Chains A and B, each alone.
Chain A
Amino acid sequence: MIAVEHPAPPPPTGPVPYERPFALELLADMLRIRRLEERAAELYGAGKIRGFLHLYVGEEAVGVGVLHALTPEDNVVATYREHGHALVRGMNMGALMAEMYGKQEGCARGRGGSMHLFDRATRLFGGNAIVGGGLPLAVGLALAEKMLSGRRVTACFFGDGAVAEGAFHESMNLAALWKLPVLFCCENNLYAMGTALERYESQTNLCIKAASYGMPAVSADGMDIVAVHEAAKAAVARVRAGDGPVFLELRTYRFRAHSMYDAELYREKAEVEEWKTRGPIHTYTARLKSEGKLTEEQFLALDAAANAEVVEAVAFAEAGTWEPVGDLLRDVCAAENPS
Chain B
Amino acid sequence: MSRTLTYRDALREALREALVGDSRVFLMGEDVGRYGGTYAVSKGLLEEFGPERIRDTPLSELAFTGAGIGAALGGLRPIVEVMTVNFSLLALDQIVNTAAAYRHMSGGQFSIPLVIRMATGAGRQVAAQHSHSLEGWYAGIPGIKVLAPASIEDARHMLAPALADPDPVLIFEHVGLYNMEGELPEPCVVDIRSAKVRREGKDATIVTYGGSLAKALQAAESLAAQGIAAEVIDLRVLRPLDDATIMASVRKCRRAVIVDEGWRSVSLAAEVAARIVEQAFYELDAPVARVCSAEVPIPYAKHMEEAALPQVDKIVTAVKGLFG
Q: Are B62 and A136 within 8 A (Cβ)?
A: yes
Contacts A141-B73, A143-B71, A147-B76: A120 and B110 contacting too (C-beta < 8 A)? yes
Q: Are B74 and A167 within 8 A (Cβ)?
A: no
In whole Å, how far is B69's beta carbon from the nearest beta carbon of chain A? 6
Residues of the A chain whose Cβ atoms lie less than 8 Å from the Cβ of B74:
75, 140-145, 148
Q: In the complex, what residue of chain B is closest to A182 when comparing beta carbons?
A: B70
With contacts defined as CB atoms under 8 Å apart, how many contacts are there between chain A and chain B in the complex?
A: 158
B-binding segment of A6-14, A60-68, A101-109, A274-282: A101-109
Residues of the B chain whose Cβ atoms lie less than 8 Å from the Cβ of A214:
none
Assess whether B44 is interfacial by the CB under 8 Å rule.
no
User: Could you tell me which residues of chain A, from 100 to 128, have a CB within 8 Å of some CB in chain B?
Assistant: 106-112, 116, 118-120, 125-128
* Distance, CA A140 to CA B114, complexed state (A): 12
Q: In the complex, what residue of chain B is closest to A119 when comparing beta carbons?
A: B109
Q: List 29 A-B contacts (CB under 8 A).
A: A108-B109, A109-B108, A111-B104, A111-B105, A111-B106, A118-B107, A118-B109, A126-B105, A130-B93, A133-B66, A135-B63, A135-B66, A136-B64, A136-B94, A138-B70, A139-B67, A139-B70, A140-B66, A140-B72, A141-B70, A144-B75, A147-B26, A148-B76, A170-B60, A177-B58, A332-B103, A332-B143, A333-B103, A333-B166
Q: In the complex, what residue of chain A is closest to B102 when comparing beta carbons?
A: A126
A174 touches which of B63, B75, B103 (Cβ 8 Å): B63
Contacts A141-B71, A141-B73, A148-B74: A339 and B145 contacting too (C-beta < 8 A)? yes
Q: Are B105 and A137 within 8 A (Cβ)?
A: no
Interface size on B, residues (CB 8 A): 44
Q: Are A333 and B98 within 8 A (Cβ)?
A: no
Contacts A137-B98, A339-B142, A339-B239: A116 and B105 contacting too (C-beta < 8 A)? yes
Interface of B is mostly: mixed
Assess whether A334 is interfacial by the CB under 8 Å rule.
yes
Give per-residue flags for B168-191: 1 if the beta carbon is below 8 A from chain A beta carbons, else 0. 000000000000000000000000
Q: Are A166 and B62 within 8 A (Cβ)?
A: yes
Besides A112-B105, A118-B110, 6 other A-B contacts (C-beta < 8 A): A120-B110, A125-B73, A136-B66, A143-B67, A170-B60, A173-B60
